[in-house]
Amino acid sequence: MVAIMTDTSDLLIRPATADDLPAIVTMLADDPLGATRESPDDLTPYRAAYATIAADPHQHLVVAERAGRVVGTLQLTVVPGLSRRGATRTIIEAVRIHADERGAGLGTDLVEWAVTTSRGLGATLVQLTSDASRTDAHRFYERLGFTASHLGFKLAL
């Protein structure tokens, strides 16, 4: 896991612990798409997945904490590759902001943390996919300098 970063507004972005799982899963489920995909009443699959994430040094699962309360989360994955002259890229997944904090800049803080951390890890490219229905998210990422240059394809197994 990477270094903890604080800013002046009492916000702490830190590695997630197993104790954060109830708060994280509640945020994953409090979402138009997540509502049908998640099971906040049964944390068993999440505990198993957390153990796998925590054991992988290339996964950086963080939470944003304000005044002792978990209010955001994001997962950053480091992917080494051959293309683009051996570029390392990072992938942002599972960005969630607590309902009480939406529109207040926390998403920007989290993504900026991910970008800064990616640079520190030697990555030259940060990428993410966003469901086509999340038009507010698209504008958000474009404001942060991301370009919607690609289509994102998924295949459920």
**Minimum CB–partner distance for residue 102 and a copy of itself (Å):** 18
How far apart are alpha carbons 55 and 150 in whole angstroms?
A: 31
How far apart are alpha carbons 1 and 4 in whole angstroms?
A: 9
| Residues 114-133 contacting a copy of itself, CB under 8 A | 115, 118-119, 123-132
**Minimum CB–partner distance for residue 56 and a copy of itself (Å):** 6
Q: Of 7-15, 37-45, 64-72, 100-108, which part binds a copy of itself (CB under 8 A)?
A: 37-45
> Which residue shows structure tokens 């607590």?
98
**Minimum CB–partner distance for residue 67 and a copy of itself (Å):** 23
Residue 71 CB coordination number (10 Å)? 22
- Closest CB to a copy of itself among residues 9, 22: 22
- What is the residue-wise DSSP string for 79-105? EE-SHHHH-EEEEEEEEEE-GGGTTTT
Q: Retrieve residue 32's tokens.
A: 């138009």
- Closest CB to a copy of itself among residues 69, 84: 84
Could you say whether residue 45 binds a copy of itself (CB under 8 A)? yes
Write the CB contacts of 7 (distance below 8 Å, at least 6 apart in sequence).
109
- The residues that touch a copy of itself, with contacts defined as CB under 8 A, are 21, 24-25, 28, 34, 37-39, 45-50, 52-53, 56, 58-59, 61, 75, 77, 79-88, 91, 93-94, 115, 118-119, 123-132, 138, 141-142, 144-157
